[in-house]
Structure 1
Amino acid sequence: MSAELPPLSLYIHTPWCVRKCPYCDFNSHELQSSLPERAYIDALIADLEADLDAAAGRKLESIFIGGGTPSLISAAGYCRLLDAIADRVALAEDIEITLEANPGTFERERFFGFREAGINRLSLGVQSFSDTALARLGRIHGSDDARRAAATAREAGFDELNIDLMHGLPGQRVQAARDDIEQALALSPTHLSWYQLTLEPNTAFYSRPPELPDETVLEAIQQQGETRLTAAGFARYEISAWSPPGHASRHNLNYWRFGDYLGIGAGAHAKLSRLEQGELVIERRWKVRQPQGYLARHTPAQKSDPRGFTAGSREVDRDERGLEFLMNALRLVQGVPRGDWSARTGLDDARLIRQTAPAVRRELLDLDSERLRATPLGLLFLDDLLALCDDEILVRG
């Protein structure tokens, strides 16, 4: 096993939004009063300080600010937060800093301010360019808002622009999904997150399901969308991520390659590695989920609660690591270097061969001397592939 720890990223969670979308299962909460921006940023900084042990001697390769609706926080707030991060953790010279933005909270001056604060990649949650579809999805923006937000992002100097786009929407036909792709491409994004709507537990759509397209329509949408994006110079590098060469999301690539990440903010999760007597230890941490409970851990009067911001943590057992690694790595179309297995899990190559053998025999997975990756068939049936690689099943069998 290599003694080198994996790359380190930082995820920052902003839990508030203007309205909870009926399909959303993220930790987001409708803002009922004024945004407690200063108090929340104070808490984020204290949260980071409490986790600095995991960042000792390591540089942040990327920062991702997600939500909720992170664009509700002001540019001045992000300037203060990013300055505080840079004062405490070393940053890579070419660090990628992404902010998720809702076109419904779009303000011209705010976008310029985000860029001046040091954010260099913007991700717009467009979802669709059909006003009818947007209304069904509970979005607070219209198609014109999305186009204006993208244009302003370019004017503000965001060379890296992602557009989030969903397909398989309630009542959607093939042509409507194609139109969404055409309108997204017309805005010259450098990245598209193009994914199918799924009904997740604990959402309004799950309890009151809308009528979704049938499998025949979904298959046609997928095939025609892939053909159009490929013709436009986009390559699918992950199951739902497309970009021209050189514009893949570095932050997300770190997730898929089983890299490390700090997590600060209400409900944020972290995956962190360390070496103990030459052995790799992997820990997961998660923070207090409810915004008010998170803020209560840090108040001006007491500075910080002795319990800290962490709601729980656990070490990832060696028997779990292989499947966790594969669940991430096999989402990448080109897979990962074979050496990542040992470097990121601490498991030997013999374990890799044994754990993946059933999927290799079914021609769902390719394993050669250089790379580990799902075959085209394996990408289509990824859940089945992973079930074959579940070490618990192998042991029981």
Structure 2
Amino acid sequence: MNKAASDKPQAASKGTTDNLQLAACSFELPPLAAYIHIPWCVKKCPYCDFNSHAAGPSLPEEAYVDALLADLDADLEQVHGRALTSIFFGGGTPSLFSAKALGRLLEGVQRRVAFANDIEITLEANPGTFEQAKFRDYRALGINRLSIGVQSFQAEKLQALGRIHNGDEAIRAADMARAAGFDNFNLDLMHGLPGQSIEDALSDLRTAIAQQPTHLSWYQLTMEPNTVFWNQPPEVPEDDVLWDIQEAGQALLATEGYGQYEVSAYAQAGRAARHNLNYWTFGDFLGIGAGAHAKLSNPDGRILRSWKTRLPKDYLDPAKAFQAGTRPLTADELPFEFLMNVLRLTDGVPASLFTARTGLPLAQLGKARREAEQRGLLQADPQRLRATAEGQLFLNDLLQHFLP
């Protein structure tokens, strides 16, 4: 039930030793995805630490699309001839935007960067923002996957979370998704909610499964800094109840054909989220939009993380830069950065991927890898990097071995 380390900018320097280490092995440019952030919501939820802001009576759709495309123009030199394998519209609530605005945006993105033939394009949506005609229009644009923020189907739990929809609307949202032509959609669901019993949690899961989503994100409510819940925490179940909820829920999901492939992600066979798999296998991603983050590699082996101006009013201000900061990842940091992602995957990754994604020899993991194996947190498999069952539960403890 530990949460994996967060991806936050940290001060870093880069020296000549790092360049030598990065040049030690051949480096391959990884697949490229794009994350597009739309920062407005109808209402800010008390648990949410994402860069989201309450929408006014009207949204600056045209101006924001113009800004997104200009932002992308500034990052095009980082594409290096690659096609986009996936696009993820996150927020906020991207489904507040009209199909017309998203269509102009997608057309503009495709004019600048090629799309892979089988590109996955995901749109986050909340049940309260569903309109069937609107979603048919989204599907016609080429958006082929939805991620619906349900969180719970129970009235008292939704009220405690500050959600604006009800359980019936959440069920209708899934029906509307199918009717609009989406045969691939995710439901977001939380557990460990205020006053939640094991049966409450399993009831939510059963209701979600009955909607036949191809993918379920089932994760525990956590109190994040800079949220209402951080300052005024609600009373949540005790640790032993949380543990029982997790065990019972995982067993139910497995029985119903949803395989766990990541810490909080479950999917029907062949339906894992390709965009998220790109993150978790240390792929590259462009990040455009207010507060968006990016991770981008260069042919010479340099890997950069960057982040954009956070507040929408500043992002839309032509006098201000889109990019708020950037930093190179040093050779000392790369083992932790790589493993922070790949060890979230239940099956881990081939050990050879470490060199392919970082340009570093596998021996760079050396002593830390052996220590983690001796503690029973990492599988003792020379061909694979994979957390043990205990390592999955205590991922933060496992990652501590690889801190620079």
Give the TM-score normalised by the residue count of structure 2: 0.93
- Judge conservation of contact 1:47–1:308 (CA < 8 Å) in 2: no
Alignment of 1:137-156 (within 5 A): 137-156=161-180
Aligned to 2:308: 287
Query: In structure 1, how many angstroms separate the alpha carbons of the residues matched to 2:340 and 2:62?
Result: 38
Query: In structure 1, how many angstroms separate the alpha carbons of the residues matched to 2:227 and 2:340?
Result: 24
- Judge conservation of contact 2:283–2:357 (CA < 8 Å) in 1: yes
SS in 1 for 2:253: helix
Does 2:189 align with 1:165?
yes
- Judge conservation of contact 1:127–1:165 (CA < 8 Å) in 2: yes
1:145 CA displacement: 0.7
1:371 CA displacement: 1.2
Aligned to 2:32: 8
Q: State the number of aligned residues.
A: 380
SS in 2 for 1:188: coil
Alignment of 1:210-225 (within 5 A): 210-225=234-249
Question: Partner amino acid for 1:111?
Answer: F
Alignment of 1:117-128 (within 5 A): 117-128=141-152
Query: In structure 2, how many angstroms separate the alpha carbons of the residues matched to 1:203 and 1:239?
Result: 23
1:389 CA displacement: 2.6
Query: In structure 2, how many angstroms separate the alpha carbons of the residues matched to 1:56 and 1:87?
Result: 15
Does 2:347 align with 1:353?
no
Deviations 1:88-121 (A, max 9, x none): 1011100000000010111111111110111000
Q: What is the aligned-residue RMSD (CA, Å)?
A: 1.0
Query: In structure 2, how many angstroms separate the alpha carbons of the residues matched to 1:352 and 1:358?
Result: 10
1:122 CA displacement: 0.2
- Judge conservation of contact 1:125–1:164 (CA < 8 Å) in 2: yes
Give the TM-score normalised by the residue count of structure 1: 0.94
Q: Which moves more between the two structures, 341-350 or 137-146?
A: 341-350
SS in 2 for 1:296: coil
Does 2:207 align with 1:183?
yes
Aligned to 2:86: 62
- Judge conservation of contact 1:272–1:283 (CA < 8 Å) in 2: yes
Aligned to 1:302: none
- Judge conservation of contact 2:125–2:149 (CA < 8 Å) in 1: yes
1:33 CA displacement: 3.2
- Judge conservation of contact 1:327–1:386 (CA < 8 Å) in 2: yes
Query: In structure 2, how many angstroms separate the alpha carbons of the residues matched to 1:33 and 1:310?
Result: 28
1:123 CA displacement: 0.3
| Residue of 129, 132, 148 corresponding to 1:105 | 129
Query: In structure 2, how many angstroms separate the alpha carbons of the residues matched to 1:346 and 1:357?
Result: 21
- Judge conservation of contact 1:359–1:389 (CA < 8 Å) in 2: no
SS in 1 for 2:386: strand
Query: In structure 1, how many angstroms separate the alpha carbons of the residues matched to 2:246 and 2:273?
Result: 22
- Structure 2: which 5+ residue stretches go unaligned? 1-24
SS in 1 for 2:282: coil
Query: In structure 1, how many angstroms separate the alpha carbons of the residues matched to 2:106 and 2:207?
Result: 33
Does 2:109 align with 1:88?
no
Query: In structure 1, how many angstroms separate the alpha carbons of the residues matched to 2:296 and 2:130?
Result: 35
Query: In structure 2, how many angstroms separate the alpha carbons of the residues matched to 1:3 and 1:340?
Result: 10
| Residue of 260, 268, 274 corresponding to 2:298 | 274
Deviations 1:265-321 (A, max 9, x none): 000000000022xxx100011110000000013xxxxxxx4x631111111111111
Question: Partner amino acid for 1:352?
Answer: L
Query: In structure 2, how many angstroms separate the alpha carbons of the residues matched to 1:274 and 1:258?
Result: 14
Aligned to 2:393: 380
1:366 CA displacement: 1.3
Aligned to 2:20: none
Alignment of 1:193-208 (within 5 A): 193-208=217-232
Query: In structure 2, how many angstroms separate the alpha carbons of the residues matched to 1:39 and 1:229?
Result: 43
Query: In structure 1, how many angstroms separate the alpha carbons of the residues matched to 2:54 and 2:309?
Result: 17
Alignment of 1:238-387 (within 5 A): 238-276=262-300, 280-297=301-318, 305=319, 308-387=321-400
- The structure, 1 or 2, with the larger RCO (C-alpha pairs under 8 Å, 6+ apart) is 2
Query: Identity across aligned pairs (percent)?
Result: 58
- Judge conservation of contact 1:69–1:102 (CA < 8 Å) in 2: yes
